[in-house]
Amino acid sequence: MSRTSLGIAAVGVALALAATACGGGGTSTSGGAAAAGGATTVKLMVGGLNKQIYLPAMLTQQLGYFKDEGLDVQLSDEPAGVDAEDAMLAGQVDGVVGFYDHTLDLQGKGKQVESVVQLQQAPGEVELCRSDEAGSISSPADWKGKRLGVTGLGSSTNFLTKYLAVHSGLSEKDITSVAVEAGPTFIAAMQHKEIDCGMTTEPTVSQLLNTGQAKVLIDMRTPQGAKAALGGTYPAASVYMQTSWVDGHKDAVQKLVNAFVKTMKWIQAHSAAEITDKMPPAYYAGVGKDQYVKALDAEKAMFTADGVMPADGPQTVLTVLTAFDPSVKGHTIDLGKTYTTQFANSAH
């Protein structure tokens, strides 16, 4: 990947250190084992620890809610959600903080995974186009022959990008998906014209808009924006786990969900500035604290208030994936097995 500026690279190093401090991945899963002091260890891999869409993971850690539940939750970072999914399936971690749509895709592949707590009711994603390309691209229908940035091939950003293309009358062969992750690597791909447009989240969105390098094509940072683009409520960030692990560790899962539900309520009761004050400074170093707060304030409604799956959400996700995903299209997907509200309801 092309070299980014020194400042952006420094942020990347700081985030890597933060992720390491939180218990970086690469080790075998704990299986809910007891840690020192009697706490139960749970390993979660986050599909981009510094993304605003996933801030409930670090915020729960910062608020001490995992510890209050008797958990030693080790957060590790993987920029592309599809790679976090692979780590969970390989038994390297117990669960993933990532998009709910992976549970449907995996069921179509014969693997049973479920969301145990729902963190978002909108994706928080934005499709940006390079400023020098924006004049010729007014909708996804203009993407034919374009190179489109996604976090990873098979990632949720890849899913959404393909849907937007197909929904606009193109075929998957009309576009080229390019894996550029997020943050500094996404920015570098824009700067060096390796991609024409791309899907990313805050704070990367604000960084590119502030420098004038990109313009917004599609904005899904709010429930209203997501409904306009995707046709309905689109539950995104969640904590998902293999159903076999959930069934074998219900006490640990309940404690984990208790902690996240407390955080979702805390988010609703506090301002964007108060939330930002709880986050590690490295999270907003690249964009600046004031801009981070502004972006969070504008998209805070994307978070669920209670950790419960929106009733109309799963069907929207199924409709989107059915449009292009061979693992879902033509398969019978049992939506009731892709999520559970049992733990979130009990947390209340």
> What confidence tens digit (pLDDT) does each residue in 92-144 have?
999 999 999 999 999 999 999 999 999 999 999 999 999 999 999 999 999 99
CA 138 – CA 219 distance, rounded (Å):
13
Candidate CATH numbers 1.20.1070.10, 3.40.190.10, 3.30.70.270, 3.40.50.2300; the one for domain 6-122+235-347? 3.40.190.10
Question: 119: which 2 tokens?
Answer: 């963190």
Evaluate whether 12 touches 196 at the Cβ level (below 8 Å): no
pLDDT confidence of residue 38 = 82
pLDDT reading at 22 higher than 80: no
Residue-wise pLDDT for 224-269, tens only, equals 999 999 999 999 999 999 999 999 999 999 999 999 999 999 999 9
Mean pLDDT, rounded, for 180-188:
95
Average of pLDDT values for 153-174? Answer: 96
Packing angle of the helix pair 55-63, 250-269 (nearest 10 deg): 90
Helix (H, G, I), strand (E, B) or coil at 110: coil
Token look-up 């791309």 returns: 198
Which three-class secondary structure state does DSSP give residue 200?
A: strand
Q: What is the mean pLDDT of residues 156-180?
A: 97
pLDDT, average across residues 318-337: 97
Average pLDDT taken over every residue of the chain: 91
- 12-29 average pLDDT score: 38
Superfamily of domain 125-230: Periplasmic binding protein-like II (3.40.190.10)
Q: Which residues pair with 339 in a beta bridge?
A: 115
pLDDT at 25: 35
Query: Does residue 79 carry a pLDDT above 80?
Result: no
| Separation in Å, CA 191 to CA 167, 176, 231 | 28, 18, 32
Question: What pTM was computed for the model?
Answer: 0.88
Whether 14 and 258 have beta carbons less than 8 Å apart is answered as no
The band of 286, judged by pLDDT with boundaries at 50, 70 and 90, is confident
pLDDT for residue 1 is more than 70: no
pLDDT at residue 319 greater than cutoff 60: yes
Residue 278 and residue 64 in contact, taking contact as beta carbons nearer than 8 Å: no
pLDDT at 348: 84
The predicted model gives 35-64 an average pLDDT of 92
Q: 203 pLDDT exceeds 60?
A: yes
Kindly indicate the confidence band of residue 320, based on its pLDDT and cuts at 50, 70 and 90: very high
More confident residue, 7 or 300: 300
Are 60 and 46 spatial neighbours (Cβ–Cβ below 8 Å)? Answer: no
The length of the chain in residues reads 348
Kindly state the average pLDDT of the residues 269-288. 96
Domain map (residue ranges) of the chain: 6-122+235-347, 125-230
Q: What is the pLDDT of residues 135-148, one digit of tens each?
A: 999 999 999 999 99
216 DSSP β-pair partners = 128
The model's confidence at residue 345, banded by pLDDT at 50, 70 and 90, is: very high
| Total Cβ atoms within 10 A of residue 137 | 18
Tell me how far apart the alpha carbons of residues 339 and 70 are, in angstroms, rounded to a whole number: 24
Check: CB of residue 129 under 8 Å from CB of residue 197: yes
